[in-house]
Structure 1
């Protein structure tokens, strides 16, 4: 059985994809910027330089699919996708699965625009492809709230709702898609609940044992309006099951 390559296989999402593929009995090759850790590993390892593409051709060679989870906000999502897809096409890899974000075709945030451009690179690559869009991960919401809670007052953008989803559940879905045939754009994968950000902040503070006053303030700009209007949400695709409180309990 040919291995499946997971770019960014040591990251928040990629490590879940790797785990679920291995649970399925699927050989896995992890592509990472880091050197392989010492000792035996349950999967193959490929050290790659995404900026210059060094090591990527060897990483893709002989694979049955690529799950592209690596990200690079500095260099640009489209350019990174172009490098990975070119290597996949040259190697004759029949299937690339790309993880994107719900609402990238509606939201003006520059990072979202980059993800949409990367989707187009994937679709136009000449390689069989699947794109899954997900809402924001619990992990991301947790990191944001943790940073905002450092001062005595926790300041939040007013009127913003979030639909956080468990990265493990998204990883399981990507593993399922990677072992199947190319499917194009598949239905979004959203968290189980659409919640006010202030509500999630209170849940975080309760779990962390932090006493903070929460202040919500209106902001300006197109990106803020898009968040306030819920363009990043996928309420019709509440596929996830793990709530934010359950995620917090698992961390604790």
Structure 2
């Protein structure tokens, strides 16, 4: 049995990694700044939860005792968390190395190293931390999640519009499909000291097509409105850097994900 430590194991990808690892018979420790209480929907039976903070290193040693593999699903979207995102990865890896961990995997974003957008740049910086570490490491770069598009459409729908970015196509993927690929990458036998893999959703469409699917699934009365997106993110999307046509994964489509999550849209 492999002992897996999942950092960020209560997020949408992390908790699916935990669920799949438990189902496969592995021992799982979950690192969370605030572990969920018993009965919480983001807590998985069979996993051990540890209060630990990668921004300070507090609690990491206890969570990593006996671990063979670390899977990093942490996020740092804004403020202090964004500024310290890569440094947190360095603390996690240092603690993992001290604990005798053999391998680590990190969740990342396709072509994050080709964007100056802060969140994506932080992902690229963390990848570099992993590449320079003394462990055997792998970064799994994924396209945007189905939930991101749904959140954009839902936010606009409150104002009776469904926003669509001009010139943008998307290749959305289900978090569960990413979790399966991340767990597989983390558990594979030793290969190159550091590797980078990519995974993309099963379909590439203009954003307006996904907006129409979301509108039909939710019954929204919002009007689809196209607008330009300036700045680094707009440049990234217009260049198609969020797409990996060669990395299509035959997983859940956006329409299928909408149907599966109809009660929460």
Deviations 1:91-117 (A, max 9, x none): 121111011100112222111111011
CA distance in 2, matches of 1:240, 1:148: 30
Task: Give the TM-score taking structure 1 as reference length.
Answer: 0.94
The change in CA–CA distance for 1:161 and 1:5 in structure 2 (over 3 A counts) is same
Q: Is the 8 A contact 2:29 2:50 kept in 1?
A: yes
Choose the corresponding residue for 1:239, options 241, 246, 249. Answer: 249
The root-mean-square deviation of aligned C-alpha atoms, in Å, is: 1.7
Deviations 1:132-175 (A, max 9, x none): 11101112221222112111222322111111001101111111
Aligned pairs, number: 252
Deviations 1:71-98 (A, max 9, x none): 1233232112112111111112111101
Match of 1:154 in 2: 162
Q: Is the 8 A contact 1:95 1:181 kept in 2?
A: no
1:55 aligns with 2:59: yes
CA distance in 2, matches of 1:84, 1:149: 40
Instruction: List gaps (5 residues or longer) in structure 2.
Output: none
The change in CA–CA distance for 1:155 and 1:178 in structure 2 (over 3 A counts) is closer
CA distance in 2, matches of 1:38, 1:145: 33
Q: Is the 8 A contact 2:3 2:68 kept in 1?
A: yes
Matches within 5 A, 1:81-230: 81-183=89-191, 184-230=194-240
CA distance in 1, matches of 2:49, 2:160: 44
The change in CA–CA distance for 1:80 and 1:182 in structure 2 (over 3 A counts) is farther
Q: Is the 8 A contact 2:68 2:103 kept in 1?
A: yes
Instruction: List gaps (5 residues or longer) in structure 1.
Output: none
CA distance in 2, matches of 1:83, 1:55: 11
Q: Is the 8 A contact 2:154 2:162 kept in 1?
A: no
Q: Is the 8 A contact 1:190 1:240 kept in 2?
A: no
CA distance in 2, matches of 1:171, 1:71: 15
Q: Is the 8 A contact 1:72 1:80 kept in 2?
A: no
CA distance in 2, matches of 1:103, 1:84: 23
Task: Give the TM-score taking structure 2 as reference length.
Answer: 0.90
Q: Which stretch of structure 1 is more off in the superposition, 216-225 or 195-204?
A: 216-225
Shift of 1:2: 4.5
1:188 is paired with a residue whose SS is strand
